[in-house]
Every structure is written in structure tokens, then in C-alpha cells.
Structure 1
Amino acid sequence: MARRKPDLDALLDKLGYRFEKPELLERALTHVSAPGAGGQSYQRLEFLGDRVLGLSIAEMLYAAFSDAPEGELSRRLAELVRRETCAEVAIAWDVGPYVKLGAGEAHSGERRNLTILADVCEAIIGAVFIDGGYAAAKELVERSFGGLLNAPRRALRDPKSALQEWAQGKGLPTPIYAVVEQTGPDHAPRFRIVVKVKGVENEFGTGTSKRIAEQAAARGLLLREGVWTEEEHGVA
């Protein structure tokens, strides 16, 4: 029995946008594997939507973080336009049932494939841009990504990199890490690491690998010195 075609009205309600040219949304939902897709898959719209998304997010960040330096804005931008974030937005839109796939892809569960969901997210943004212009596309991005501006999925910087940047900014030598103690059996070791920064009290971290322990030590020092805050960079 053929799969029932889902009602696009529910998707349009979640997008908060009505198309003058509905065929653009149809194309944005069409994977290259779909029967008869040919040159009418979402790939070109995805290319365009990726650029529209980047500009929209950049504008939002520029307005929201008026005191942030360029480096922080760049890191926030990269976090918000990454595949996983776009897929998260597509899941919130519930686009999966609407994506047109080839029979093999449909049966193998590709409607839940994060890469496809992320691609469709960008393609829809591109479709709205063509249909309604940049203002309409930016409004869609603001509605869908705005709540994520202050809730990054990952730390904007790993602690070791952040600590090294902080030390360099103060004219200090590169932080030094050393193993203080290793406990546990060979198959499940636990490390205690000290990080040393000239002129600053040492900090310690523990973990199941040297890397994890080093990151914990660096995070602890950054939090203790007030470079990072618990709200944004505390241990989850």
C-alpha cells in the first residue's frame, strides 16, 4: 500500500510561513534519491539556504552580543550553523514525514538521518528566500534558531585552548600539564593531572584519560580565576 501523503498545512504552520510558490517547498523536501527527482532535488536550495542562514545568524549574533569580539562571534556562528543544530531545527519542524525519498532510503530509515534533516532545513530556508525574499527568510531563522543563541550545544572552546589563549593574552608562558597520580587497573585507569600557569595557583583535574583530566584541570582553573562562569561552562 502506498504511503499516505502528509498534509503540508501542519508543516507550514510550524514554519510560520505560507508560500506563494508551493512548488519551492516541494523541491526543498525532495531528496536526490526520490523517483523522478532529477535536477529538482533540494541540493541547489540547500546551497543557497546555507548562505542565507549564515548571514541571518551573523546579523542576530551581532545584535545580541554587542560587546563580543570577532572570535567569539565566529565560534557562536559555527555552533549555530553546524549540521547537528540544523537537524535539531528540522526535527522541531517535524519535516521527516514530508521528505521525499527513494524506496531504499525510505525503508532504511533515512527520514531520521541527521545529514538529510540538516540539508532539508537549509533547503527550506533557501526556498523561503526565493519565495519571499531575505526578510521572510531571516524571520524564519529568527523564529527557529533564536532560542538557541544563548544555549550552545557544545562549549564554544575546549578548556585547554581557552586556557592557553588566556595565558598568552596575559603574556604568560604556555600552561604545563603533568600527571600527579595514576590509579586503577590498566583497562580502567584514572588520572590526576596538575596544570601549572606562571604566577597562578596550580589546579588539578581527574579523568579516565590524560586528555579528560587535562581538560578538567584547565576548566577548573578558568572557573576559579573567573575567566569562565559556572552558568556557561560548568560541568554538565
Structure 2
Amino acid sequence: MRLDQNQKKLCEEIKYSFVNADLLEQALVHSSLKSRGHLNNQRMEFLGDRILGFVISDYLFKAYPNWREGTLALNLNSLVCREACAEIAEKIELGKSLIMGKSESKYGGRTKKAILADAMEALIAAIYLDSNMNTVSNVLVTLWKAKLNNLSEVELDPKTMLQHWVQARGMGLPQYIDMKRDGLDHEPIFYVEVRIGNGLSAIGKEKSKRSAQQIAAKDLLIQLEKEI
């Protein structure tokens, strides 16, 4: 594959030159380009998302040894969410290099945040497959430098953290459902379930509804961390 001017500029922006340009091409192919069959960036999105999560987690863990788990998780979520990926993609003008169907391009596909976020993750995977984890880590830390220099040590409660997580991904607010009440009248135990838009849920139980909600939110955040 021979790179066009936009793709050459993209490589300059990310400060990385591909050994195998075919990997870059696949990362740039949107699924709307039907003529290329299965050669699009969807599988790369999957891999790139996991690589980004690992690299940023590793960076935060080493850079902030005194931060508690909740603070690390909150900052991680803000750094790897789709909005963050789309913002970086816009900064490096990734949309100009995308290879997509004429209709998608005509109706603004090159500036759609969802498409840009997916392509950014695919690009991350392409760099990794073309090199190694150390190289892609260096590229990501450089691209995310401004965001990494603007982190907060404020630790929020689980309910607030969960709300931030879902809102950053365009989901509706978490739903808290009172399930049942057990125990004696003077020592009740409340069961509360929390649900979010991607179908995941968790149940918390405690001596007050508020505490049960916090426990449910914390358990769901633990599930979500495993998904990142």
C-alpha cells in the first residue's frame, strides 16, 4: 500500500512510521466500504480498546503510587472513554485518512465521534501489531500527554463514579431498583439492584437503602473494570 498525503501526515502526527502499511490501511477502513469484504477495522477496534486500557492503567499505576483504587479507576475511565478517543482522533485529523463508503463520507462520517473513536482504537491496534507493546505505549503516552497532565486525585463515591462512567459513554443514568427488605423491623436489610444501559447489573445489600446503592454501584464498577 502506498500512503496518500493525508495518511503520511497522520504518521507524522502520531510520530510513527509503519513497517507494514497494510496494517495502517486496515485500521482506516470503515465497515461502510462493502467492496472490501471483511477487511475493515472492526476487529482492530476490539484489540486497540484493550491495549489502550492496559497502557493507561499501567501508566497511572506507576505514575501515582499513592492513589487509591477508586481514584485510579475514575481517571482511567475518563482517559479511555469514547469521547477521549474521539478527541485525540480529531487532534491528529484521523478522519481525513479514513477509507469509507461514498454515502458515509458524504453524510459526515469523517467527523462522527463514534467512527473517530473506533478508528482511533483500530489505529492503536495497528501500531501494536506492527511493532510491540513498548512502542505503542510510547506513542499513546505522547498522544495522551495533555490529558495525563490534567488528572485529579479527588476520589468520588461509587454512585458518582458509576454515573460519570455511563455518561462518558453516552448511556442513560444508572437505575436503582428496590428489590426487597429482610431482617427485623429495628435491624432491616435492604436489597437494591443497579442497572445500566449495556445490560450489566449488580445487587447490594446493607442496613440502609443508600448504603445498599453504594455497594451495588461499587460491585458494578468492579465488573466494568474487567470489561475495559
TM-score (norm 1): 0.62
- Aligned counterpart, 1:182: none
Using the alignment, how far apart are the partners of 1:117 and 1:161 within structure 2?
A: 28
Using the alignment, how far apart are the partners of 2:144 and 2:16 within structure 1?
A: 15
What amino acid is aligned across from residue 113 of structure 1 in structure 2?
K
Could you give the per-residue CA deviations for residues 45-85 of structure 1, whole angstroms, max 9, x where no partner exists? 11100011000000111122111001110111111000000
CA RMSD between the two structures: 2.2
CA 1:50–1:156: 2 relative to 1, 3 Å: farther
What amino acid is aligned across from residue 39 of structure 1 in structure 2?
H
Count of aligned residue pairs for this structure pair: 157
- Aligned counterpart, 2:150: 151
Using the alignment, how far apart are the partners of 1:151 and 1:111 within structure 2?
A: 28
- Aligned counterpart, 1:106: 105
Q: Please list, as runs of the form range in 1=range in 2, the aligned pairs for 1:111-122 lying within 5 A after superposition.
A: 111-122=110-121
Does the 8 Å CA contact 1:27/1:40 hold for their aligned counterparts?
Answer: yes
Structure 2 residue runs without a partner (length 5+):
162-228
Larger radius of gyration: 1
What amino acid is aligned across from residue 21 of structure 1 in structure 2?
N
Could you give the per-residue CA deviations for residues 167-221 of structure 1, whole angstroms, max 9, x where no partner exists? xxxxxxxxxxxxxxxxxxxxxxxxxxxxxxxxxxxxxxxxxxxxxxxxxxxxxxx
What amino acid is aligned across from residue 85 of structure 1 in structure 2?
A
- Aligned counterpart, 1:23: 22
CA 1:106–1:69: 2 relative to 1, 3 Å: same
CA 1:152–1:34: 2 relative to 1, 3 Å: farther
CA 1:161–1:49: 2 relative to 1, 3 Å: closer
Matched, 1:37 2:36: yes
Does the 8 Å CA contact 1:80/1:152 hold for their aligned counterparts?
Answer: no
- Aligned counterpart, 1:91: 90
Could you give the per-residue CA deviations for residues 131-165 of structure 1, whole angstroms, max 9, x where no partner exists? 00111111111111122024259x9748x948xxx
- Structure 1 runs (4+) greater than 4 angstroms displaced: 155-158
Does the 8 Å CA contact 1:79/1:152 hold for their aligned counterparts?
Answer: no
- Aligned counterpart, 2:195: none
Query: What's the % identity of the aligned pairs?
Result: 35
Using the alignment, how far apart are the partners of 2:118 and 2:7 within structure 1?
A: 18
Q: 1:7: Cα distance to partner?
A: 3.7
Using the alignment, how far apart are the partners of 2:80 and 2:155 within structure 1?
A: 13
Structure 1 residue runs without a partner (length 5+):
163-236
TM-score (norm 2): 0.64
Matched residue SS, 2:35? coil
